[in-house]
């Protein structure tokens, strides 16, 4: 077929019918319907690019958040596990812990140089009146105490104190039982919930015999109702050589 002729006169002459058929075959893929369909497909596929960008952005965001959270937990864990041996360091650590949490009104820290650190928690923070069950709000304060104790190897003396108002209930015949039960409740929480070794603890109750202030007002009585947590360099009873102590005592007799 003479295509040079057809290009100048595509639909004239003896090839008119053939040209139309041939043209239909040659230009079938470029028909208006096919072109429209291709545009529709292309328009739909254009969403793939921004959608994939969004998914990638979200993946990167969550990956960064996960890395940040993991690194923060590692820093906290390493700080909690770092041992502190100086009494002055324990004092600073204890004081800062309660200042940061805004509990300085209900908790205080005292330093006995080169001997001990005493943390005083008011009973109103830890217990309801006439009760030895820990209040829900006590968990936060005792968790801070546990964080400090984990960083020290020392003995922990827990002492319960009450005001001078007598108590006489089925569970607590006097303030002696109440003060001892409150100190024991704190010890149980630190041992069972915070997993501090039990051999590090000593528990005692003093009733109202060691007031910080005179029991002449409700405010003073609130100060006297307390649990003292003393961290001391004294050696735990479990670490003593009892047989040697017994022999020395017997020799002394």
Looking up residue 220, the CATH number of its domain turns out to be 3.30.1330.60
pLDDT tens column, 145-164: 999 899 888 999 999 999 99
**Is residue 244, in this structure, part of any structural domain at all?**
no
pLDDT for the residue 189: 96
* pLDDT(101) > 70: no
102 torsion bin: left (phi>0), alpha (psi -120 to 50), beta (else): left
Q: How far apart are CA 107 and CA 115, in angstroms?
A: 20
**Is residue 251, in this structure, part of any structural domain at all?**
no
- Write the CB contacts of 156 (distance below 8 Å, at least 6 apart in sequence): 149, 190, 196, 200, 201, 202, 229, 230, 231, 232
**Is residue 213, in this structure, part of any structural domain at all?**
yes
Q: CB of 159 within 8 A of CB of 209?
A: no
Bigger pLDDT: 101 or 142?
142
* pLDDT(239) > 50: no
**Is residue 159, in this structure, part of any structural domain at all?**
yes
**Is residue 20, in this structure, part of any structural domain at all?**
yes
Could you tell me the residue range of the domain that residue 138 belongs to?
84-239
Asked if 59 and 71 sit in the same domain, the reply is yes
**Is residue 89, in this structure, part of any structural domain at all?**
yes
pLDDT tens column, 75-84: 444 444 456 6
195 torsion bin: left (phi>0), alpha (psi -120 to 50), beta (else): left
Bigger pLDDT: 137 or 222?
222
**Count of the separate structural domains present in the chain:** 3
Asked if 194 and 73 sit in the same domain, the reply is no
Q: How far apart are CA 137 and CA 135, in angstroms?
A: 5
Bigger pLDDT: 125 or 104?
125
Asked if 38 and 65 sit in the same domain, the reply is no
Model-level pTM?
0.60
Asked if 89 and 68 sit in the same domain, the reply is no
Asked if 135 and 76 sit in the same domain, the reply is no
pLDDT tens column, 29-72: 455 455 545 555 555 555 555 666 777 777 787 777 766 665 54
Q: What is the dihedral of CA 95, 97, 98, 102, to 10 degrees?
A: 130
**Is residue 246, in this structure, part of any structural domain at all?**
no
Asked if 38 and 144 sit in the same domain, the reply is no
pLDDT tens column, 170-227: 999 999 999 999 999 999 999 999 999 999 999 999 999 999 999 999 999 999 999 9
Asked if 18 and 39 sit in the same domain, the reply is yes
Output the average pLDDT for the chain. Answer: 75
Asked if 41 and 92 sit in the same domain, the reply is no
Asked if 70 and 110 sit in the same domain, the reply is no
221 torsion bin: left (phi>0), alpha (psi -120 to 50), beta (else): alpha
When pLDDT is cut at 50, 70 and 90, the band that residue 249 belongs to is: very low
Asked if 224 and 116 sit in the same domain, the reply is yes
Asked if 59 and 21 sit in the same domain, the reply is no
pLDDT for the residue 88: 82
pLDDT for the residue 105: 67
Of 60, 82, 104, which residue is a domain's last? Answer: 82
Bigger pLDDT: 98 or 252?
98
pLDDT for the residue 108: 86
**Is residue 113, in this structure, part of any structural domain at all?**
yes
* pLDDT(237) > 80: no
């Amino acid at each position: 077929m003479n295509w040079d002729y057809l290009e100048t006169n595509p639909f004239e002459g003896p090839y008119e019918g053939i040209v139309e058929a041939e043209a239909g075959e040659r230009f079938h893929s470029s028909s208006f319907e096919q072109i429209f369909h291709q545009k529709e497909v292309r328009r739909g596929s254009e969403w793939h690019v921004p959608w994939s960008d969004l998914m990638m952005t979200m993946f990167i965001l969550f990956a960064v958040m996960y890395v940040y959270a993991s690194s923060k937990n590692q820093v906290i864990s390493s700080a909690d596990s770092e041992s502190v041996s100086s009494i002055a360091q324990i004092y600073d650590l204890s004081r800062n812990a309660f200042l940061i949490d805004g509990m300085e009104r209900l908790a205080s820290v005292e330093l006995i140089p080169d001997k001990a650190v005493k943390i005083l928690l008011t009973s109103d923070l830890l217990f309801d009146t006439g009760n030895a069950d820990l209040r829900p709000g006590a968990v936060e304060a005792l968790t801070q105490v546990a964080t400090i104790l984990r960083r020290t190897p020392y003995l922990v003396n827990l002492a319960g104190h009450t005001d001078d108002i007598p108590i006489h209930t089925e569970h607590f015949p006097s303030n002696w039982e109440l003060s001892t039960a409150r100190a024991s409740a704190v010890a149980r929480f630190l041992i069972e919930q915070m997993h501090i070794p039990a051999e590090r603890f000593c528990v005692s109750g003093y009733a109202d015999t060691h007031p910080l202030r005179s029991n002449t007002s409700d405010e003073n009585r609130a100060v006297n109702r307390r649990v003292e947590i003393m961290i001391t360099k004294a050696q735990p009873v479990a670490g003593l050589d009892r047989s040697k102590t017994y022999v020395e005592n017997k020799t002394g007799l």
